[in-house]
Structure 1
Amino acid sequence: MEEKKAKFYFQRREDSSSGHHCCVPQCSASAKFNSVLSFHTFPKDMELQKRWLIKIRRTNFTITNHTRVCSRHFQSTELIEPSTPSGRRRLKNGAIPLLFQWNNFTLPAQRPSVWHRKERPETAMDIIQNEDPPMDEHLPDHDYCSSAEPAALDLALDHTQHLQAEIASLRKQMEEMALSNKFGLERFAASDDDIRFYTR
């Protein structure tokens, strides 16, 4: 089955005497039918010309005085808008056509360089630089935004009371044991036999 190419019909501009058209393959832009686009000549610098030819996929192409590339193929940051209504749109120095039908008039997302993608062990200097400087500001002691649930508070209160009772009981036992183990006159005062035994 034969593929049908989409055909676009343009209305010819009344004010256009220019016959410029874009030399990029798959681009049918013409100054006769489009007053919005601007058409730019190839740069005089031979290296930049070669880069343009590679980008527009025309390596064995003869450039003439009438050869043009339309503004659709340049990023908007590469174009210099005219300062007057009758002025011409120009290109910045070193501008290269990058937007084409074969890349959907978009640029691929820039990948990080190998240096940034590759994980490296941290050096002592990196660790020192990554450390946070000491903070002078005082952090609050309390978190006023959070509130405990009442059931959790009741459980915590019961547990606290139980632990306090256990502590009191253990202290009492400890005091009793301390008194019973004390080696002194009070321990033997009630028994004459014990005093005779230890004082012989």
Structure 2
Amino acid sequence: CTASSKFTALRFFTFPADEELRRKWIVTIRRDKFTVTPHTRVCSRQFKSEDIREPVSEKGRRLLKKGAVPLLFEWNNFYLLTPRPGVWERRERPAQEDDREETPDDAPEVPMQHDYVSAPDPAIVDVVLEENTSLRDENRLLRQQLERLT
């Protein structure tokens, strides 16, 4: 950030002493070859307003709340997207009415679930296997004829 506190109400914060929190700050800043020195500061524009404690007195300083991490930068237009609600947090949907038509009593009952695990008729399997075998034999003979011609 190239902001100046000379004519604005910006506040500049030093990096935290806590190593874990310091690491979080460095990760969120996203700078190549970034080295923290004792003089490195982060501008108050990089923090959410909820992360900054307003001064108690008129001459007091604005301080960061414990655990605050800079999140607002130029690369995200100083804006955070609101997270999408999780599956269990989404709003209730109106109950759907059962729109299925009534079937006559003599109509065959059709299961609503698919029958993926049912075994095929053994007679059909035998026919398909026999056809498969004959096609393989025909394919083998055609390959042999092709080899003789070339």
TM-score normalised per structure 1: 0.42
**Inter-partner Cα distance in structure 1 for 2:26 and 2:61:** 24
How many residues are aligned here?
91
* Larger-Rg structure: 1
Q: How does 1:67-146 map to 2 (within 5 A)?
A: 67-116=40-89
Q: How does 1:42-81 map to 2 (within 5 A)?
A: 42-58=15-31, 60-81=33-54
The higher relative CO (CA closer than 8 Å, separation ≥ 6) is in 2
**Inter-partner Cα distance in structure 1 for 2:45 and 2:66:** 17
The C-alpha deviation readout for 1:3-35, integer Å capped at 9, x for no partner, is xxxxxxxxxxxxxxxxxxxxxxxx21122x333
The C-alpha deviation readout for 1:172-198, integer Å capped at 9, x for no partner, is xxxxxxxxxxxxxxxxxxxxxxxxxxx
**In structure 1, the residue corresponding to 2:61 is in which secondary structure?**
coil
The C-alpha deviation readout for 1:150-191, integer Å capped at 9, x for no partner, is xxxxxxxxxxxxxxxxxxxxxxxxxxxxxxxxxxxxxxxxxx
Letter of the structure 2 residue corresponding to residue 88 of structure 1: R
Residue 111 of structure 1: CA displacement? 1.1
The C-alpha deviation readout for 1:109-151, integer Å capped at 9, x for no partner, is 211235546xxxxxxxxxxxxxxxxxxxxxxxxxxxxxxxxxx
Residue 69 of structure 1: CA displacement? 0.4
CA RMSD, Structure 1 to Structure 2 (Å) = 2.0
Q: Which runs of 5+ in 2 are unaligned?
A: 91-150
Q: Which runs of 5+ in 1 are unaligned?
A: 1-26, 118-200
**Inter-partner Cα distance in structure 2 for 1:47 and 1:112:** 28
Residue 58 of structure 1: CA displacement? 2.6
Letter of the structure 1 residue corresponding to residue 21 of structure 2: L
**In structure 2, the residue corresponding to 1:54 is in which secondary structure?**
helix
**In structure 1, the residue corresponding to 2:13 is in which secondary structure?**
strand
**Inter-partner Cα distance in structure 2 for 1:83 and 1:116:** 37
**Inter-partner Cα distance in structure 2 for 1:48 and 1:103:** 21
